[in-house]
Structure 1
Amino acid sequence: MHIEPIPPMVAAQRLRRQLARLESSARANAEAGRLADFNAEAAADDAAELASSLARGDGRLFRVGLYLTVHALDAAELQGEVQQVRALAASLLLDAQPTTFCALQGWTTSLPLGADAIRQRRTFDTQALAASFPFASPDLDAPAGSTGVLYGVNVASSGVVVWDRFAQDNHNSVVLARSGAGKSYFTKLEALRMLYHGVEVSVIDPEDEYRALAETTGGAHLGLGAHGVAFNPFDLPVDQGDDTLIRRALFVQTLVAAMLGEPLKSSARPVLDRAVLAAYAAKGINSAPSTWSRPAPLLADLVEHLSISSHPEGEAIADRLIPYVTGSYKELFAQATTTRPDGHLVVFSLRDLPEEVKSVGVLLALDAIWRKVANPADRRPRLVIVDEAWMLMKEAEGARFLYRLAKSARKHWAGLTVVTQDAADLLASDLGRAVVANSATQILLRQAPQAISAVGEAFGLSEGERAFLLSAERGEGLLCGGNTGDRAAFAAISSPAEHKVITSDPAELLDQHDGESGPL
């Protein structure tokens, strides 16, 4: 393709002459009583529009020559190849002509010498030239590193879509889709392939969909709310700095606010802070690291110190924490830690938790995950998956905790994956938009018509991309590199063995169970 810009003054003069020629032809036909030449009228309209664009500086004119060299091993094969090229060009309304008696000039013109010996050119405007530029590709340009994961097949080019989230500016990702679009399937597929690369994966699973993945890969499955499973939020992590006790006390305050279901009042914060530190002191734990290995206090100890604080705010908080100490929710929160979340894959299942305390369970699980992620003595690539993150985002304290995790994960060689079907609510809050902005990898699967406007505006989608997301099949989506600008429409693919592990289709799960049980 040889492109030669036409100087604006020359282009304006030629357009003026062309307009005059077309106008005079139209007037002559009208005076002679002949029928109007609609092709000439369309050409005159196009020329007038182009002249207006040039006058405003919105576009330019170019002389463009497009040449194609066809290669073959012999004359017969060459003839067949030429016929195929001309037939393909004709299907695109292009007239391809061979360079008869000028084969040498045609060949040198198609070499990277910058010399056009044929000079068979047409005039293009800026828009037409941009549409015909041959170097645009639907495939990703981002190179895949050592942790690159196969996402699927490119819908436009049938090439593979391989993406390395740990090679981006940050390692976070957000997955948005309507219910049934395959967001959990895709997330489990990515997690499984991350395990292939030695990435440690932790999952917050609200519907117990990751159990088969954990059992197949030898991971740990922790059912929060199940009998015998308890996490003590007062446990002090080891080897995490001199301010470990202070940070643990601050987290306990965040957890209490989530248990209360509302932000703490300014008058209640100092009362709660004193009670937390008093509970630690009663167990012989203070700012000296040598005391941190002693048994940590329990939630009941905090309630006791709040009750004897002789402060109305403390007594009110103690009364509202009773269900978590001696009431219906004591199973998870009121005992010493019974299960350590260790392993290459740890799944925190929330299905057995009552709906009223699921957000608290998510916050507690995230804290357990963060202890591992922030441990400077154990640095390795990690992936943290929060499925159905809207449950945490609807609580102010939970949303802030998730935001802090998204901001700090990269410093600890970790990536956060936020998965939600409630795109409108996520994008409606400032913290939700901040989480999206801090995600260099953005996965958009099929969207609901009610949410496509908010999603399209938040991610800068074109009309074609919006139409694709509205009509995408299950497992099809759009990968957006938030910081690199790379985009690719893909269809997630899995092997039969992977599909058996990650599917959550009830009919398929029933067939698998019947197959394992055998005939009666």
Structure 2
Amino acid sequence: MARSKNTTTTGGLTGLLDVLSPQALDFGARQITFGEQMARVLVITDYPPRVGPAWLARVAGLPGVVASIHVTPTDPANLVLSINRAIGEYTGRLELGGNALVMQRTEQALKDAQELLRKIDQEQQQVFYVTVILLVLAPDQEALDRRTRQVEAALAAAGMRGRVAVFRQEEGLKAAGPWAVLPPGIRDAGARNMPAETVAASFPFTASGINDGSGVVLGRDRDGGLVLVDIWQRGGDRTNSNWTVLAKPGAGKSFAVKMLILRELARGARVIIIDPEREYREMARLLDGAWINCAGGKGRINPLQVRPVPVEDEEGEEEKATARGPLALHLQTLRTFFSLYLRDLSDLERAALEEALVEVYRRAGIGWQTDPAVIPPEEWPTTKELYAYVAARAGESPDIYGRLAVLLRRAAEGADASLWAGPTTASADSDLIILDVHDLQNADDAVRRAQYFNVLSFAWHQIEKDRQERTLLVVDEAWLLVDPQTPQALAFLRDTSKRIRKYMGGLVVISQNVVDFLAPEVARHGQALLDNPTYKLLLAQGEKDLEAITALMNLSEAEHDLLASAKRGEGLLVAGTQRVQVRIEAAPYEMPYLVGGGQ
């Protein structure tokens, strides 16, 4: 059947019908063509013996699926007679015996019939004929066939069976539309007796929101309800307060994180941010926070300054570190720092460098058990003293100390001296601390990664000072730490992710490309950063990242389509085992504070 567009209209109603009607409507044996759209009608013919609440929701919620449920009252007297006859038939079959599979199915059918009779007789439940029709829509033939297979698979997984209404697509369309029409052929194919409680549970009107009763409002779910999350509530499937925020550029991840920061500050939390893109400077100024330029400005962090070790830890880790001494623990940090800065050192050169470090500390009066808290920042050795010592020994061993001296000269007297050749001047005495490394953009990868790690270890020390204070550590552009040749920095971030929960803290990792963390050389550390956080905010994704996330998190087709076509600020929030579609929203009075960077 085809309908051509009426070019001469005499009334507004006819013109409206022309606008709403498809340019072409054709019914095939197994599908329907609506202009450029295609459709297929399926009828559910078999149901499981027992169902849960909203048992049609999973199928009705699939992309491109429209569900139509027809409910018709039955005559209880005739139904009771039919059930009694069925019970007699089932009992007779069981007495005759036969194939084990047939016997098992007959026994189950007998139990179902007896249960239905009990509900009618004892619970006075009304019984209805229920017919469920599914209209599957798709833009082309290939997509229609794929979605049909997905619907059939979803039905099979739920214990149901769906059949295409072959040569009855026109009747099926009438039954699927909002006209309360159920042609006899469709009714005969799909009508089944169901008690009222099962019918009531069939309606797929479900809302999956998150409301912890306290915390931070992130926005709204797909049904318009508030998404209220308290990241400091721990228990059940929420074991930590960590976040992973992943999105392609321009998807709104910075806006979402700034809103989270603003609201957690209002709740009394402390926030430390490592900022490579200078996105938080204006926010810090408006909120009277501390902005520290850690890339050659006044906020120098001396990597050779040993940090005090906390004396208490529930698992005894810190006591072991204290037994070795703060210097021994800090030397492990320096190994990672110098492996990032001087990536091509041989094993002998690394050993010589560590020997030089120990000697430089000894000359400064610092031993294995020295308490770092009693030594002021200006008395700690720096890269200047380290270079001077190595250069003095260059004559003894040109192959090792001579090469080390050449490599360290930049950090002591050259282009990188402003970063490390001096005492620590950065101070952290505010509830909002921005550790800015933006000026490192033009530095080479080794310098950028080394300083980023140096700043990260400094931030971790601030968290260690007070394990009772709620602290969020925000690591923006975390991909900067991903280096297959030196995975130690990513391992440090992974360890931070695991340990920070014991310090009443939460780690927020923000990045663009999930595939960076899944490279074979770093996957052992990188995947932990994706799996460990209780909270994951996934906004619009690029094609490669979306495929990786789909496999990693076992996303459904609806979730995959959401992330593929999400608008700015829209995405998927994962909180423990809960997953909800979320639209990030800020109040008008908050907007002036959510400034800078990708706004």
Please report the TM-score for the alignment, with normalisation by the length of structure 2.
0.63
Partner of 1:491: 583
Partner of 1:272: 353
Say whether residues 1:435 and 2:529 are aligned partners.
yes
Distance 1:284 1:65 in 2: 71
Partner of 2:224: 158
How far did residue 121 of structure 1 move? 4.6
Partner of 1:355: 443
User: Aligned in 2, Cα 1:214/1:65: closer, same or farther, shift over 3 Å?
Assistant: closer
Partner of 2:472: 383
Distance 1:61 1:315 in 2: 81
Distance 1:467 1:436 in 2: 21
How far did residue 179 of structure 1 move? 0.6
User: Aligned in 2, Cα 1:95/1:130: closer, same or farther, shift over 3 Å?
Assistant: closer
Partner of 2:592: 500
* Aligned 1:30-429 pairs, distance under 5 A: 60-61=48-49, 93-95=68-70, 115-122=123-130, 126-127=159-160, 133=202, 137-140=206-209, 143-145=212-214, 148-155=215-222, 157-167=223-233, 168-238=238-308, 240-241=310-311, 242=322, 243-262=325-344, 265-290=346-371, 293-294=374-375, 295-309=379-393, 310-311=396-397, 312-353=399-440, 354-356=442-444, 357-375=447-465, 377=466, 379-394=468-483, 395-428=486-519, 429=522
Distance 2:405 2:589 in 1: 51
User: Aligned in 2, Cα 1:227/1:380: closer, same or farther, shift over 3 Å?
Assistant: closer
User: Aligned in 2, Cα 1:267/1:503: closer, same or farther, shift over 3 Å?
Assistant: same
Aligned residues: 420
Letter in 1 for 2:527: R
How far did residue 383 of structure 1 move? 0.6
Deviations 1:394-421 (CA, angstroms, capped at 9, x unpaired): 3523212212211211122211111111
| Contiguous gaps of at least 5 residues in structure 1 | 1-36, 51-58, 67-90, 103-110, 509-520
Deviations 1:371-406 (CA, angstroms, capped at 9, x unpaired): 11122x553111111111101123523212212211
Say whether residues 1:444 and 2:538 are aligned partners.
yes
Distance 2:208 2:278 in 1: 35
Distance 1:270 1:487 in 2: 49
Output the aligned Cα RMSD: 3.6
User: Aligned in 2, Cα 1:455/1:278: closer, same or farther, shift over 3 Å?
Assistant: same
How far did residue 114 of structure 1 move? 8.7
Distance 1:380 1:130 in 2: 52
Distance 2:359 2:480 in 1: 32
User: Aligned in 2, Cα 1:138/1:427: closer, same or farther, shift over 3 Å?
Assistant: farther
How far did residue 287 of structure 1 move? 2.5
Deviations 1:431-472 (CA, angstroms, capped at 9, x unpaired): 211111111111100011232111111111111111111111
User: Aligned in 2, Cα 1:258/1:505: closer, same or farther, shift over 3 Å?
Assistant: closer
Letter in 2 for 1:318: A
Contact 2:220 2:226 in 1 (8 A): yes
How far did residue 505 of structure 1 move? 6.8
Percentage of pairs with the same residue = 25
Distance 2:261 2:413 in 1: 38
Letter in 1 for 2:261: A
User: Aligned in 2, Cα 1:474/1:301: closer, same or farther, shift over 3 Å?
Assistant: same
Distance 1:390 1:290 in 2: 35
Contact 2:283 2:595 in 1 (8 A): no
Contact 1:63 1:122 in 2 (8 A): no
Q: 1:464 aligns with which of 543, 558, 582?
A: 558
Deviations 1:11-33 (CA, angstroms, capped at 9, x unpaired): xxxxxxxxxxxxxxxxxxxxxxx
Please report the TM-score for the alignment, with normalisation by the length of structure 1.
0.72
Distance 2:203 2:359 in 1: 71
How far did residue 292 of structure 1 move? 5.4
